Amino acid sequence: MESYILEIKNLSCFFGGVKAIDNVDFSVKSNELRCIIGPNGAGKSTLFKIILGTVKPKSGSVLFYGKDIKKNPTYKRVRSGIGVKFQNISIYNDLTVEHNIRVSLPDYINQNDIKSEGQKILNRLGLQVKLSDRAGSLSHGHKQWLSIGMALAMEPKLLLLDEPTAGMGSEETILTAELVKSLNSEGVTILVIEHDMAFVRELKAPITVLHLGKILAEGTLKDIEKNSNVRNAYLGNN
Amino acid sequence: MSQIKILRSLSNINGKNDLGNNYIFWFFFFLLLLLGLFSPLILSRYQLLNLSNHITNIFLGLSLCLIWGYCGILSLGQSLFLGLGGYTYGIVGINLIETHGNTHVALLMGIIVPIFTAFVLGYLMFFARLKGVYVAILMLVVSLLFETFLNQTAGPGWFVGEAHLGGNNGLGRFSGVIREPPSLIFSFRENTIEFVGSSIQFYYLCFGLALITFLALRLLVNSSFGYKMIAIREDIDRTEALGHNIKLIQLIIFCVGAGLASMSGILYVSWGNFITPDTFGVYNNILPVIWVAVAGRKSLTAALLGSFFISWISQWLNEQGDYALVALGAILLSSMLFAPEGVIVKITQKFSVKLSKQ
């Protein structure tokens, strides 16, 4: 039997009459790197929010390492190993890079080691910024990376990345893909939501396509590109 | 090894989460400290009485600075805890002073009751994920409820033990009863020390407590807990997604804030031996917001100086006529326009920029 880090069973979530997630079954293996794509309003971000616990589903269950985490509040889910980088760059703009990383590090890190731990994370990201810089003064791409770094600081087992390359140039996009791949090779299971097909192509990872709250297709990039349902979903029937 | 640890954590006093971590700051700090220590030798009794009163306000200012400036919880009813502390201390004090001969229990109850109230209110607000303006309004409403309730306690039926609540005349001599809340009295074995409002002892008590509180809070805001508080102020959802129990942190800091505000209340009652329901009113709830906002809410140092000096100025304005609140409003308005982060914060920033250019 294969070990799943994340299993989603019969998950449904409605916003008023809109079915954001409609009876979805979905599972992720340990050490997997998976992309989730889909047109706007497909339910991708809602799926992440349900996994993280900030949105409550109407029915269904989310299993992390085989345990139902429905009753766990967000902070407990994060502490148990789910790291997240939101869609909007959510760093603390008015605080220093050091402060940003500092609040991301787990509590057991000694106060005196904070600077060196922070520097380690910057090095791991290949981020050439100073710890004393104000986070708001970083470039757009660097903010995105810092935001990934903050999710990484907690050493998550499962990393959820919601549009990590939004607003990035092509060079930065390729570098981000390299970063994601290298994190994955270090043993972090990663789920990526992305619109940028160049980035998805670069990741060379299996893809799940969501449309109107349902899973439309799963497979490699080639399979997905050939799939007529996916083409219709993106481009319309005509 | 443990000594090194203690020294290291003490160095947090000089941390980055408050204004002033250079020698110039500490120079002025020690200058003010000396001035504070020796002012009883220079000042008259009346001036000292006033000075003590302004120092009692510092705790309320610091409490609002802590919860609003550092943790992002604006309360327009922070004076609720001051009033609760004062009333509880007064009521328990009146009842127990003759049998006990000291105010230990009154002091303890005066701190516990507001903290417990904060715990209940905070639990309901934060666990219901109430934030922003709703917390501010709810706090003001609760405070005004207390004001309304206490205002109608003038009748002869409103006694708690021997303490008459006294309606809008409040607890103490103005309600026509002889029993008024006692000043703080500490006793240890045979020794008893009383802190009458106009005494030098009371002044030093307030001064010492303000000093210790200020330094302890500087340690707190520069600890890892303090960094989390600031993160919550900046982005509450992000901080939760980083694995922090934000409701618990908010609740803890709200209770600490209530404890600080209650100290203001207890010292105030000990100072003047009375307290009235006005304490819970709009004016007294808006004042600390003005002190902290004008001086700089994100800095303990600024809040401390703001609470002290602006309450001094408002007293002086009160003596000049009925327009104190109008003038204070003008001060708030102009500081919001020209120094939205606070006057003291802005001055310090300009000063440090000049220094770094030299």
d(CA A13, CA B239): 25
Confidence at residue A107, expressed as pLDDT on a 0 to 100 scale? 80
- What region does A8 belong to: left with phi over 0, alpha with psi -120 to 50, or beta? beta
Chain B: residue whose CA lies nearest to A152: B242
Residue B225 lies in a domain: yes
Between the alpha carbon of residue B259 and those of residues A185, B30, B76, B253, B264, the distances in Å are: 51, 27, 16, 10, 9
> Which is more confident, B81 or A238?
B81
CB contact under 8 A, A154 and B8: no
pLDDT > 60? residue A238: no
At residue B324, the pLDDT reads 76
The pLDDT value recorded for residue B175 is 61
DSSP state of A57: -
Cα–Cα distance between B261 and B58 in angstroms, integer? Answer: 9
Is residue B159 situated within a structural domain? yes
* Contact indicator for B94, B274 with CB cutoff of 8 Å: no
Reported pTM: 0.91
When divided into structural domains, chain B yields a total of: 1
What is the per-residue pLDDT across A4-27, written as a single tens digit (0 to 9) for each?
899 999 999 988 888 888 888 989
Beta carbons of B243 and A78 less than 8 Å apart:
yes
pLDDT at position B189 is 83
CB contact under 8 A, B235 and A90: yes
Contacts 24+ apart (CB under 8 A), B7-14: B8/A111, B8/A112, B9/A111, B9/B219, B9/B223, B10/B219, B12/B218, B12/B219, B12/B222, B12/B223, B13/B215, B13/B218, B13/B219, B13/B222, B14/B222
| Structure tokens, B125 | 């607000």
Q: For the structural domain made of A33-59+73-235, what CATH number should be given?
A: 3.40.50.300
Average pLDDT over residues A116-124: 85
Q: Report ipTM (2 d.p.).
A: 0.88
Band of pLDDT at residue A100, cut at 50, 70 and 90: very high
pLDDT at residue A38, rounded to an integer: 87
Question: CB of B356 within 8 Å of any CB in chain A?
Answer: no
Across the interface, which of A84, A94, A96 has its CB nearest the CB of B241? A84
From chain B, the residues in CB contact with A107 under 8 A are 224
On whether residue B153 sits in a domain, the answer given is: yes
- Give the chain A residue whose CA is nearest to the CA of B238: A90
Per-residue pLDDT of B204-254, as tens digits, reads 999 999 999 999 999 999 988 999 999 999 999 899 999 999 999 999 999
What's the confidence (pLDDT) of residue A121? 85
Q: Closest partner residue to A103 among B16, B223, B228, by Cβ? A: B228
Q: Do B241 and A90 touch (CB under 8 A)?
A: yes
Q: Which run of H or of E encompasses B193?
A: strand B191-195
The pLDDT, as a whole number, for residue B126 is 93
Closest approach of A224 to chain B, Cα-based (Å): 32
> Tens digits of per-residue pLDDT, A122-141?
888 888 888 888 999 998 88
Least Cα separation, residue B230 to chain A (angstroms): 9
Whether A86 sits inside 8 A of B230 (CB atoms) is no
Domain that holds residue B209: 42-278
What pLDDT shows up at residue B117? 97
The answer to whether residue A237 scores a pLDDT higher than 70 is no
Q: Residues A13, A53: contact at Cβ < 8 Å? A: no
Q: What is the pLDDT of residues B107-136, one digit of tens each?
A: 999 999 999 999 999 999 999 888 889 999
Chunked in runs of 10, what are the mean pLDDT values of chain B (358 residues)? 71 81 87 93 90 95 96 95 96 90 92 97 92 92 96 88 87 73 88 89 95 95 92 92 93 97 96 93 92 93 94 86 80 88 89 70
What value does the mean pLDDT take over residues A190-199? Answer: 88
